[in-house]
């Protein structure tokens, strides 16, 4: 189930409208060339002062199963349950210090932009990619000896699309359900700001 387009009132680019976060994965390898293309796409994201504060820890099941398992074990049990066929785990980190050694206040924003570029490249290549916040960040930092200046923001699992029927019933239903977002009027403020709860 690779296609699940967003219902929009205004036409947007199909690459953006078609990108979503599946959980049904096929148990077959993702090529190293595809993995490197994802990171190459992320590399060309915009950042303040071209600081490029994004960092990625790439864990490929077929290349280094020990490292992959170390990362996999930091996922919360729910995320472990549906990621059994994931082939790649990519940890997105932000370097919190700039080239002067000062705090980089846009590091998280810039790393997020880079992660989106990676997700869009995955979708363009017909791959399934799902970004997760449910993992033990301190355990991940300790397990891989990562300096505390780097903040793990998300873990992205990557695989080929699988059959939603292989998921537990509740997750299979969520996989097939229409995509939803807040209405435009709730997120966009044109010319004036309205706080939550105000009329």
**pLDDT tens per residue, range 143-171:** 999 999 999 999 999 999 999 989 888 88
Separation of alpha carbons 151 and 146, rounded Å: 9
Does any domain span residue 7?
no
pLDDT class for 172, splitting at 50, 70, 90?
confident
Does any domain span residue 190?
no
Q: Which CATH number goes with the domain that contains 167?
A: 3.40.109.10
pTM (predicted TM-score)? 0.94
Q: Which pLDDT score, from 0 to 100, does residue 143 have?
A: 98
Does any domain span residue 171?
yes
In this predicted structure, the answer to whether residue 179 has a pLDDT above a threshold of 60 is yes
Q: Which pLDDT score, from 0 to 100, does residue 198 have?
A: 79
Which is it for strands 150-161 and 88-95: parallel, antiparallel or unpaired? antiparallel
* Rounded percentage of the chain residues whose pLDDT exceeds 70: 98
For 121-147, the pLDDT digits (tens) are 999 999 999 999 999 999 999 999 999
For 47-92, the pLDDT digits (tens) are 999 999 999 999 999 999 999 999 999 999 999 999 999 999 999 9
In this predicted structure, the answer to whether residue 8 has a pLDDT above a threshold of 60 is yes
Domain count, the chain: 1
Q: Which candidate, 133, 34, 29, places its Cα nearest to that of 86?
A: 29
Q: Which pLDDT score, from 0 to 100, does residue 193 have?
A: 93
Does any domain span residue 146?
yes
In this predicted structure, the answer to whether residue 16 has a pLDDT above a threshold of 90 is yes
pLDDT class for 1, splitting at 50, 70, 90?
low
pLDDT class for 199, splitting at 50, 70, 90?
low
Q: Which pLDDT score, from 0 to 100, does residue 173 have?
A: 87
Cβ(18)–Cβ(123) under 8 Å?
A: yes
Does any domain span residue 4?
no
Domain interval for residue 108: 25-177
């Amino acid at each position: 189930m690779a296609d699940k387009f967003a219902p929009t009132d205004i036409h947007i680019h199909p690459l953006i409208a078609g990108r979503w976060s599946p959980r049904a994965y096929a148990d077959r390898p993702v090529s190293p060339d595809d993995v490197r293309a994802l990171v190459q796409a992320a590399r060309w994201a915009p950042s303040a002062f071209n600081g490029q504060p994004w960092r990625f820890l790439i864990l490929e099941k077929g290349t280094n199963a020990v490292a992959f398992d170390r990362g996999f074990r930091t996922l919360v049990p729910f995320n472990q349950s549906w990621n059994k066929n994931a082939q790649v785990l990519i940890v997105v980190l932000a370097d919190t210090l700039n080239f002067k050694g000062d705090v980089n206040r846009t590091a998280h924003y810039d790393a997020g932009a880079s992660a989106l570029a990676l997700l869009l490249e995955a979708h363009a290549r017909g791959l399934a990619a799902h970004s997760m916040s449910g993992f033990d960040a301190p355990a991940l930092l300790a397990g891989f000896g990562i300096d505390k200046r780097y903040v793990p923001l998300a873990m992205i699992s990557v695989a080929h699309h699988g059959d939603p029927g292989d998921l537990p019933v509740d997750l299979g239903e969520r996989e097939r359900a229409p995509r939803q977002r807040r209405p435009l009027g709730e997120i966009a403020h044109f010319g004036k700001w309205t706080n939550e709860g105000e009329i």
